[in-house]
Amino acid sequence: MKYTQLGRTGLKVSRLVLGTMNFGPQTDEADSHAIMDAALDAGINFFDTANVYGWGENKGRTEKIIGDWFALGGDRRDKVVLATKVYGNMAADGDAWPNHDKLSALNIRRAVDASLKRLRTDYIDVYQFHHVDRATPFEEIWQAVDVLVQQGKILYAGSSNFPGYKIAQANEIAARRSGTIGLVSEQCLYNLAERRAEMEVIPAAQEYGLGVIPWSPLHGGLLGGVLKKQAEDGRRTSGRAAATLADPAARGRIQAYEDLLDKHGVEPGEAALAWLLTRPGVTGPIVGPRTAAQLESAIRAAELELSEELLASLDEIFPGPGPSPEAFAW
């Protein structure tokens, strides 16, 4: 496994990030533990989760599964760079209460203590803001973060789903506060089929020294060989994938993508991950395996070298928006 620095920090993280969103809802605890063991054995040391994962009545379940895994010992916690998130309301559905969500100093304090308890650890390496909170000023957010750092409960702060201007605003305000390092990472939607992050988010992250952590690298499965799977076993798509494939132009691009990779003898899902690893500013994509086989495929992708010819052909099928501001200004 290859490693890199997380943004401008001294923290070394793997080029693949283990996403845990499926742990609980789709993957039971025993299999989740086996996947985390296999990831660690493969050298993946960066694990990502969120307090709301588990969803619905089971919010927090994913963090508990990870915490139970840490409790098994074997230096598991010491070997992992642990990232979780705060924003969503953790009260039981139908029992929401003011100040139990978003990024007020009160909720950050409450949420981090609850996550630490579920995760069965003393500290969180990267504490991420899951979404922008338009009602809370960054001065208040950074004050809360400073306290948590001083208490040893978190080491770094990161963002998720932030537009470029919010990354800039957050770090400019942090720079005016003595001793506040600001955001060190941004977790954003970014893949071959969804490249809008190249317009503002990634340039802002690079300018301010944030590591970029793409989520949904296979675009909801569309880049994982969906058409081939449909033809081979009649597998049906649903949700966003089905809506996309209903559009003839979009379906045509996916077909061209699969045909290109078949010609080069490369698995689509592995190519999509390998492409992200070539992109400027990217620390590593989040892979969210439901099974051990899916994890093995992701690990192969980390070692895959895409030729310049193949990279150029992928750009032809899925062209990016171009540099900013030229792409939208003229």
Domain count, the chain: 1
Quote the CA–CA distance of 125 and 112 in Å, as a whole number: 12
3 is catalytic: no
Q: 237: pLDDT confidence band, cut at 50, 70 and 90?
A: confident
Three-class DSSP category at 27: strand
Give a yes or no: residue 235 inside a domain: no
Q: From start to end of 190-302, where are the E strands? A: 211-215, 286-287
Q: Give mean pLDDT, residues 205-214.
A: 98
Residue 328 has pLDDT above 90, yes or no: no
What pTM did the predictor assign?
0.96
Q: Please report whether residue 318 resides in a domain.
A: no
- The mean pLDDT value for 123-139 works out to 98
In a domain, 125, yes or no: yes
| Strand bridging mode 3-5 / 12-14 | antiparallel
**What is the C-alpha separation between 199 and 81, in angstroms, rounded?**
29
**pLDDT above 70 (res 159):** yes
The answer on pLDDT for 73 being more than 80 is yes
Residue at 236 is within a domain: no
Six token digits for residue 301: 């992708």
Q: What is the pLDDT of residues 274-286, one digit of tens each?
A: 999 999 999 999 9
The predicted structure's pLDDT at residue 235: 73
**Residues 53, 156, 208, 257: which is the catalytic one?**
53
| β-pair partners for 83 | 48, 126
- Decide if 56 is inside a domain: yes
Encoded amino acid at 153, one letter: K
Report the CATH number at residue 134: 3.20.20.100
Q: Can you list the positions of beta strands (E) in the chain? A: 3-5, 12-14, 17-19, 46-48, 81-86, 124-129, 154-160, 183-189, 211-215, 286-287
Average pLDDT on 43-68 reads 97
Least confident window among 23-27, 86-90, 213-217, 326-330: 326-330
Residue 94 pLDDT greater than 70, yes or no? no
- The encoded tokens of residue 328 equal 């939208």
**62: domain range?**
3-226+268-307
Nearest to 170 by CA among 201, 215, 125, 213: 201
